[in-house]
Structure 1
Amino acid sequence: MPDVTTSHFISTSSDDPAHLTLQGDWVLEHYAQLRQQVRELSRSGTSYRSADLHRIGRLDTAGGQLLADLLGAELIRQLADSDRDLPEERRVLLTRIADSLQEEPPTHPQQNAALELLGNLGQYVVGLCQHTLVLLAFIGMTLAGMAAGLLRPGTWRITSIVAQIEQIALNAVAIVALLTFMVGAVIAFLGATVLADFGATIYTVDLVAFSFLREFAVLLTAILMAGRTASAFTAQIGSMKANEEIDAIRALGLNPLHILVIPRVIAMIISLPALTFIGMLSGMLGGAVVCSLALDISPTMFLHILEQNVAVRHFYLGMAKAPLFAFLIAIIGCMEGFKVSGSAESVGEHTTSAVVQSIFVVILLDALAALFFMEMGW
């Protein structure tokens, strides 16, 4: 006789190790013993090609699941389809077990594109409202801190303010002057090209003066500060947040708002109007150079036309927007720094967010201010 290995539920033969003879009751009552024997056979790594199920007494879903683990879904289905001697109810049970093992995971029904777009829009609006509330709260905290500082002048951190002015204003003079000079030259050249068709090239002076005194100088400077300074504020405060330096400041009994935010806000409010004034001068200088070289308008005539045709109120209107832009740029940069969660990736994300938000707010407020000034007749 061939060598046979037999257990209470599973028998194997040395003549055909890939064939199993199953017996006994494969039910939940014997689940622990069945699972142990199935595990032992599974560890052997043998791939079973056939099995005899006729000696199984009772069979339920728990036993059927163990059969599937032992034999595999394909062999279970093959036995259920080919062995007509098995009872019908047992064949149905084995087929369903094989189907459950081979069926693909359910796919979520495709959502309507319009509904998905509407849901995304709703999430964006809710996020925008929440972000606006946080920004307003941070503005209120900063204004309250600045108002408290007015009552106690000794708490002003003059050294920090002066250091920030150096970084914000003095180090940015060259880039602001160069940018506005080139933009002024371009505007003068384009204006002269268009106005030449009407014989009104002399009004190129007015075009350059109006555009830089009212809009371009403050707008270009604010956008530069949003990209250069707001990002620096976020990166500096975010790095301190990631290194737990802000927690150390609080542990010392100090207020991070007074130490980190207010000096930067004050420095920005001082620096941006000064840079805007430099931008106005540099932009009109670029226009004057083009007028002198291309239109035969001498610098003396340029200044005379400027004095005769351009009222000083345009200068005031342009400068009036600078402190507001400076305040919002500094607030957004500092607020995004405090939002950093602690990783380098978070610092980069909030730095990008600070730049985008600052530029958006600056352009939005500038457009609203232009409409308001136009309606007021200014």
Structure 2
Amino acid sequence: MNPWSMAPAAIAQPTPQELALSGYWTARGIGAIEPQLAALSVPAKSGMVIDGTRIDALDTAGAWILQKLLRRLRDERIAVEMRGLRPECSKLLDAVGQQIADQTDTSAPLASAPLSRLEALGQRAAVAFEQTLALLSFVGESAIALGGCITHPARMRWRPILFNIRSAGFDALPIVGLLSFLLGIVVAYQTADQLRQFGANIFVVDLVGLAMLREFAPLITAIIIAGRSGSAYAAQIGTMTVTEEIDAMRTLGIAPLDVLVLPKILALLIALPLLTVFADVLGVFGGMIMARAQLGVGFGEFLDRFVKAVSITAYLIGILKAPVFAVIIAVTGCFQGFQTRGGADSVGRQTTRSVVQAIFLVIVADALFSIAFSALDL
């Protein structure tokens, strides 16, 4: 059939409650239908029968125009009944209507009544529970992948591990050292006045040594790395998720956990304990300087007391926390990266969440360590 001889789409109104459709409701045939739809008058609050018996053909363009008419009538609270449409045309009309409804729900959700405080709290609890389950599932998948690398050492990717050790460890030395040094100065300075009143100047060594080695050094190092490296992990993986690089890796048979997650976890397991030792040294050194300046405790006297006051157990307790903090930071950052959906705004949102959650979990883990060590008299 000559396409130029096709009858264009038309709409007639034999009665106020009936519409008769005819012609080719296709991309070629619907050019003149818009003015007819605009001039259509429908009685308010009445039923409407649409007869599609004389529709010769229907494609997605015509189905979209027809769905637009149906939605207009329904928005005006008019009951619509469709008759005479061939089965294949009816299926296409329903499919286009479902697609329009999905797009409308996604882009412009209908306004709903505001939730009560209890309902809002329940929704937040449900979302938090789902996120917790997803995080635990991710931890399990990472553990399985790590077990596979241990049983098959050839799968271990040493170059990414060494790169992450440099970026998360060596490159973080200046900021970790500076903040630890300043923290040691602050601890010694804040205790100087109180100790001077009681003539107990030498006990500044006990305070600085135990505080830095057991608590402050591992904690401040973990917080710095969570803000510095954990956010970088989330941003990197989130960007790869948005640009569909993760899907491309899976298509090529490359496991994203082996390439992106395990090198970061293993690198941080090596780097964070070493950074903690570095923070211990700089923190104690800062305390030494302040003790000499404020309390007259010389370096030699400080070191003599330090060896007696601080046991090897206190030092190892701080080092023991570092690997746990490292796993928390790396897993949280990578997990939030894989949770990225949408565009660049989602990358920023998940990066922020990774930092907040990592710091929160690090502090919770530190509190649990304190409880456990107290129970064990350590």
Query: TM-score, length-normalised on structure 2?
Result: 0.71
Q: Is the 8 A contact 1:337 1:350 kept in 2?
A: yes
Cα deviation 1:336-371 (Å, max 9, x = unaligned): 111111410110000000000000000011011112
1:89-104 aligned at under 5 Å gives the runs none
Cα deviation 1:146-169 (Å, max 9, x = unaligned): 111111111110111001100000
Shift of the 224–41 alpha-carbon distance from structure 1 to 2, 3 Å rule, reads closer
Which of 1 and 2 has greater Rg?
Answer: 1
Shift of the 252–307 alpha-carbon distance from structure 1 to 2, 3 Å rule, reads same
Q: 1:238: which partner in 2?
A: 238
1:21-100 aligned at under 5 Å gives the runs 30=16
Deviation at 1:323, TM superposition (A): 0.2
Cα deviation 1:98-134 (Å, max 9, x = unaligned): xxxxxxxxx99887xxxx2222222222222211111
SS at match of 1:340: coil
Q: 2:186: which partner in 1?
A: 186
Q: Is the 8 A contact 1:241 1:342 kept in 2?
A: no
Shift of the 210–60 alpha-carbon distance from structure 1 to 2, 3 Å rule, reads closer
Q: 1:134: which partner in 2?
A: 134
Whether 2:364 is the aligned partner of 1:364: answer yes
Q: Is the 8 A contact 1:238 1:340 kept in 2?
A: yes
One-letter amino acid matched to 2:157: R
Question: Quick one: distance in 1 between partners of 2:307 and 2:345?
Answer: 53
Question: Quick one: distance in 2 between partners of 1:60 and 1:162?
Answer: 73
Shift of the 337–109 alpha-carbon distance from structure 1 to 2, 3 Å rule, reads closer
SS at match of 1:266: helix
Q: Is the 8 A contact 2:201 2:295 kept in 1?
A: yes
Q: Is the 8 A contact 2:202 2:302 kept in 1?
A: no
Deviation at 1:242, TM superposition (A): 1.3
SS at match of 2:340: coil
Q: Is the 8 A contact 2:332 2:358 kept in 1?
A: yes
1:168-187 aligned at under 5 Å gives the runs 168-187=168-187
Shift of the 62–353 alpha-carbon distance from structure 1 to 2, 3 Å rule, reads same
Shift of the 302–242 alpha-carbon distance from structure 1 to 2, 3 Å rule, reads same
Question: Quick one: distance in 2 between partners of 1:118 and 1:202?
Answer: 56
Q: 1:314: which partner in 2?
A: 314
Q: Is the 8 A contact 2:213 2:318 kept in 1?
A: yes
SS at match of 2:228: helix
Q: 1:217: which partner in 2?
A: 217
Sequence identity percentage: 39
SS at match of 2:296: coil
Deviation at 1:29, TM superposition (A): 5.5
Cα deviation 1:294-334 (Å, max 9, x = unaligned): 11111111110001111110011111010011011100100
Whether 2:248 is the aligned partner of 1:253: answer no
Query: TM-score, length-normalised on structure 1?
Result: 0.71
SS at match of 1:297: coil
Cα deviation 1:3-61 (Å, max 9, x = unaligned): xxxxxxxxxxxxxxxxxxxxxxxxx964579xx9xx8799xxxxxxxxxxxxxxxx996
SS at match of 2:357: helix
Number of residue pairs aligned between Structure 1 and Structure 2:
286
Deviation at 1:273, TM superposition (A): 0.4
One-letter amino acid matched to 2:375: E
Q: 2:296: which partner in 1?
A: 296
Q: Is the 8 A contact 1:243 1:342 kept in 2?
A: no
Q: What value does the CA root-mean-square deviation take over the aligned residues? A: 2.6
Shift of the 60–364 alpha-carbon distance from structure 1 to 2, 3 Å rule, reads closer
Question: Quick one: distance in 2 between partners of 1:109 and 1:177?
Answer: 53
Point out 4+ residue stretches in structure 1 off by more than 4 angstroms.
28-33, 39-42, 59-63, 107-111
Shift of the 119–199 alpha-carbon distance from structure 1 to 2, 3 Å rule, reads farther
One-letter amino acid matched to 1:290: M
Q: Is the 8 A contact 2:276 2:322 kept in 1?
A: yes
Q: 1:207: which partner in 2?
A: 207
Question: Quick one: distance in 2 between partners of 1:248 and 1:356?
Answer: 30
Shift of the 295–240 alpha-carbon distance from structure 1 to 2, 3 Å rule, reads same
One-letter amino acid matched to 1:249: M
Shift of the 108–253 alpha-carbon distance from structure 1 to 2, 3 Å rule, reads closer
Question: Quick one: distance in 1 between partners of 2:257 and 2:131?
Answer: 19
Question: Quick one: distance in 2 between partners of 1:284 and 1:130?
Answer: 43
Q: Is the 8 A contact 1:277 1:319 kept in 2?
A: yes
Question: Quick one: distance in 2 between partners of 1:348 and 1:263?
Answer: 23
Question: Quick one: distance in 2 between partners of 1:152 and 1:357?
Answer: 32
Question: Quick one: distance in 1 between partners of 2:193 and 2:200?
Answer: 10
